[in-house]
């Protein structure tokens, strides 16, 4: 199969580590089985943020676990398949370990790309669009060198434990609300894409973070896709010569995603 016939894959929001080690391990095995399935047909692989539910790189230590998944990513890069990895709001403290160890390309902001004649804007999605002022302030604090230095002073047993507890509490308080369609006026990433399209045309806007698989038209020539997540949906995106498709990994096969399973389906 020539490189021109191969596909671009977009995966996001695995949240490895949540909610328990056992459940996370099952999810990791599912992702690894998908990676095995797509490797031969993959031209490039995008990991669009929140791969981990929490990640912090100490100078000489990283969080335990995830070795099966990390080994698969190393297989991709070792075989010459580019892997482009975006930090998310849960794993923004990825620094140089994964790029150096795995050979991935790391991104912290949305990027533009072009494949098969299609123009794309790709990013995790946190902190974009209107509203959410509190999080945007917190993101600036967490991104600061001072905050990172202070956290690094905590012993890993305490620091990582504290972060995991905080993530658990946040997810418990959110419940299922992040899986309900808010309507186009209140879908902040959709509004962000509308504004970006006014500035410059892109055929496809591809984001994660929202935890809800979405396909929303932007005018008559563009589409916003949200990749969903792997705690409930196992959804991801494929781009090839025919365009972009939102699909699902189910029973060891790739199937088209059925939007009717979304709780609020007025899209």
Mean pLDDT of the chain: 91
Q: Locate all alpha helices (DSSP H) within 54-132, ordered by sequence.
A: 67-78, 97-102
Q: Is residue 267 part of a domain?
A: no
Q: In whole angstroms, what separates CA 194 from the centre of its chain?
A: 21
For the entire predicted model, the pTM comes to: 0.92
Number of domains the chain contains:
1
Q: Is residue 240 part of a domain?
A: yes
Identify the pLDDT of residue 260.
65
Helices 145-152 and 133-142: angle between axes, nearest 10 degrees: 60
The answer on pLDDT for 202 being more than 70 is yes
Q: Which run of H or of E encompasses 113?
A: strand 111-115
Identify the pLDDT of residue 151.
93
Whether the Cβ atoms of residue 155 and residue 118 lie closer than 8 Å to each other: no
Q: Is the dihedral of CA 155, 157, 159, 160 positive or negative?
A: positive
Give the total residue count for the chain. 267
pLDDT in tens, 108-161: 999 999 999 999 999 999 999 988 888 888 888 989 999 999 999 999 989 888
What's the CATH code of the domain at 61? 3.60.21.10
Identify the pLDDT of residue 196.
98
Q: How far apart are the first and last CA of the chain?
A: 37
What domain range is 15 assigned to?
A: 3-261
Identify the pLDDT of residue 161.
85
Percent of the chain with pLDDT over 70: 93
How far is 118 from 192, CA to CA, in rounded Å? 20
Identify the pLDDT of residue 4.
53
Q: Is residue 266 part of a domain?
A: no
């Amino acid at each position: 199969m020539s490189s021109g016939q191969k596909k671009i894959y977009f995966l996001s929001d695995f949240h490895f580590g949540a909610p328990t080690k056992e459940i996370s391990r099952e999810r990791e095995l599912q992702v690894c089985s998908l990676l095995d399935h797509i490797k031969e047909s993959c031209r490039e692989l995008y990991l669009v943020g929140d791969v981990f539910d929490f990640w912090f790189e100490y100078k000489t230590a990283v969080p335990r676990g995830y070795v099966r998944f990390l080994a698969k990513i190393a297989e991709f890069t070792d075989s010459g398949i580019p892997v482009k990895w975006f930090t998310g709001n849960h794993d923004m403290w990825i620094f140089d370990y994964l790029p150096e160890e795995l050979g991935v390309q790391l991104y912290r902001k949305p990027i533009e790309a072009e494949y098969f004649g299609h123009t794309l804007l790709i990013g995790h999605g946190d902190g974009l669009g209107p509203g959410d002022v509190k999080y945007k302030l917190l993101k600036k604090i967490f991104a600061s060198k001072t905050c990172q230095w202070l956290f690094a002073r905590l012993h890993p047993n305490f620091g990582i434990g504290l972060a995991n507890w905080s993530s658990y509490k946040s997810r418990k308080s959110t419940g299922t609300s992040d899986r309900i369609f808010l309507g186009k006026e209140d879908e902040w990433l959709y509004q962000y894409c509308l504004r970006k399209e006014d500035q410059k045309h892109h055929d496809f806007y591809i984001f994660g973070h929202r935890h809800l698989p979405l396909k929303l038209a932007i005018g008559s020539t563009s589409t916003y896709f949200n990749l969903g997540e792997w705690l409930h949906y196992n959804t991801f995106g494929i781009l090839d010569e025919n365009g972009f498709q939102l699909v699902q990994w189910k029973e060891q096969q790739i199937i088209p995603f059925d939007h009717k399973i979304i709780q609020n389906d007025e899209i």
